[in-house]
Structure formats: C-alpha cells, structure tokens
C-alpha cells in the first residue's frame, strides 16, 4: 500500500494570523515546540512563517511582514514521495496539508524522512515494493511507457540450506549493490521486491534493456563464480509498449506488467533460460 500524507500529518494545526505580532508567533512555536506556523485568514492559508523568518525579524512587527506569501501546499491523499519531492525541489521544511481547500494538517521534512526510512529495505538499502509501485503508477499516469524487469534467484532456498542464511544475506546485499551500480539514474528505478526477488522499472527501450539485463545477469553470476558460490538468476521482462486498457486504471496496469514479468522469470527458470520476455 502506498503511504499517503494523511497517515503522517500533524493535526490539529497550530496557526497564526497575519495581524499577530512576530513575538506572538514565536511564543506559539516555543510553547508547542514547532518550527513553522501556517498563516490563516478567513479560513484560508495565505502564508507560512518559520523560526528562521522570526530570527531575522523584529518581534514587534506583524506576521504579515515576515511570512512567505502563497506557500506550497499538498493534498492529504498525496503520496509521501510526492510530498518529499515537492519539499526537496522547493528547499522547504514545512508543508501545509489541505483537503477541499481547507487546512487539515501539516508535515515537516523530518516527518517525511522518518516515514521514507520505513520503505527502505534494511538489508540491501534499496527501496521496497511500495516505492517502486509509486514510481510505476506515476509514470503510467503521465503516459510514459515502462518496462518491468523481474530478477529472481534460482533455487535460493536450497542455497540457504547449504551455505546458511548469513551467506545468503551477504549475496542478496551484493546483488543489490551490483544492480544499483548498473542502473541508469532517472531512467531505471530499482527495488527489492521481496525475499530473493528484485525489480527494475525503466523508461528505456526494451531492446536496450534486453541487452542490459543480459549483461547484468553475467555480472552477477561472475561475481560469485570466483567465490565458488552457485548463484544464478532468471529475469523476466514485460512492457515496452502501450499497455493501458480503457477499463484499467494505472494500478491495475502496473499489476499486470509486474505479474507478466514475474511469470516470465518463472518460465525462464523452468526452461533453463536466463532471460525471457513476455
């Protein structure tokens, strides 16, 4: 499930008015131990004032003199990754949350970093499937064709029985590092899907990705051969052409693509191939 702003926002919201003094706003921040206040007038968010603004202003002046006009806001049903990207791009630390043009909460960058950390796989330091799903649905919503590559280790359960789970974890971490180094930033999006499975979503052409996947397989398998560790991997590909059906939403299309890639990797494994495209 994709995490949304509503699940982490703080509410009710402590606010200030444009005609309050900066000293009064500072007192509210001290009392509630917060670093920013939405400025509300007649029920509408018209600005935001932060502790930095207050430090740079005379306490006797009005909030209206120091606040940032027309602040960025976000809907409570937006994903946490949308909120994080918005704050990163704008270089801000506080983001008012609206629902039907009404202030319903506020989030901070610290809140988002903490929540974002929950979606990082602790073993490989890769994003988990929730983040990958967010990326996939976003790309599809923007009308961008994607290719899904599903990496599945062969007989990894038997490997763990023979060499132990500690060695198995080390292998998973190494594979994550190899794939992370091999992907193209802003074109490929890598995650650990679960267990011994990794997933890549890409906006590159499927011809280029087929070659890339073959090279990645060789790189992974060679890296373990010199250690005499029998690690092999099967990869399934799907997508690369318009998959949207009028009766399917973006989430359903992505499910379809992931399922096809997973089935392709399973079929490749059974047929003794390293790579198979559906």
What is the CATH number for 78? 3.10.580.10
Residue 148 and residue 62 share a domain: no
User: What local confidence, expressed as pLDDT, does residue 273 receive?
Assistant: 81
Q: Are 98 and 137 members of one domain?
A: no
* pLDDT per residue as tens digits for the range 23-51: 999 999 999 999 999 999 999 999 999 99
In a domain, 122, yes or no: no
- Rounded Cα distance between 244 and 278, Å, is 16
On whether residue 173 sits in a domain, the answer given is: yes
pLDDT at 246: 45
Low-confidence ranges of the chain (pLDDT < 70): 1-2, 241-247
User: What integer pLDDT is reported at residue 242 of this predicted model?
Assistant: 59
- Tally the domains of the chain: 2
The closest of 204, 206, 193, 190 to 238, measured between CA atoms, is 206
Cα–Cα nearest to 213, from 233, 197, 189, 195: 233
123 occurs within a structural domain: no
79 and 155: one domain? no
pLDDT at 118: 87
The verdict on 162 and 264 lying in the same domain is yes
Based on the number of CB atoms within 10 Å of its own CB, is 172 exposed (0-12), middle (13-18) or buried (19 or more)? buried
Q: Which domain holds residue 96?
A: 5-117
Q: Residues 168, 75: one domain? A: no
Torsion of CA 29, 33, 38, 42, to 10 degrees: -70
Q: Domain of 178: which CATH number?
A: 3.30.70.270
Q: Is 274 left (phi over 0), alpha (psi -120 to 50) or beta?
A: alpha
pLDDT of residue 1: 59
Q: Do 133 and 228 belong together in one domain?
A: yes
pLDDT value, residue 31 = 97
């Amino acid at each position: 499930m994709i995490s949304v702003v509503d699940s982490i926002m703080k509410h009710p919201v402590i606010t200030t008015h444009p005609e309050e003094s900066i000293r009064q706003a500072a007192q509210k921040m001290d009392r509630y131990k917060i670093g920013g206040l939405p400025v509300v007038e007649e029920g509408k968010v018209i600005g935001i004032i932060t502790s930095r603004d207050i430090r740079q202003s005379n306490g006797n002046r009005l909030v209206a003199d120091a606040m940032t006009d027309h602040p960025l806001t976000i809907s409570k049903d937006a994903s946490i990754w949308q909120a994080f990207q918005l704050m990163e791009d704008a270089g801000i630390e506080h983001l008012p949350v609206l629902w039907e043009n009404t202030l319903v909460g506020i989030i901070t960058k610290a809140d988002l970093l903490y929540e974002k950390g929950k979606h990082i796989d602790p073993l490989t330091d890769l994003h988990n499937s929730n983040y990958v799903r967010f990326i996939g649905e976003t790309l599809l919503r923007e009308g961008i064709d994607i290719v899904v590559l599903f990496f599945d280790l062969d007989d990894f359960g038997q490997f763990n029985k023979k060499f132990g789970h500690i060695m198995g974890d080390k292998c998973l971490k190494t594979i994550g590092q190899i794939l992370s180094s091999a992907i193209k930033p802003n074109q490929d999006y890598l995650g650990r899907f679960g267990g011994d499975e990794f997933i890549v979503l890409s906006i590159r052409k499927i011809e280029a990705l087929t070659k890339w996947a073959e090279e990645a397989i060789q790189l992974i398998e060679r890296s373990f051969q010199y250690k005499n560790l029998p690690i092999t991997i099967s990869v399934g590909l799907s997508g690369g052409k318009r998959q949207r059906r009028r009766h399917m939403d973006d989430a359903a299309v992505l499910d379809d693509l992931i399922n096809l890639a997973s089935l392709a990797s399973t079929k490749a494994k059974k047929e003794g191939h390293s790579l198979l495209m559906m």
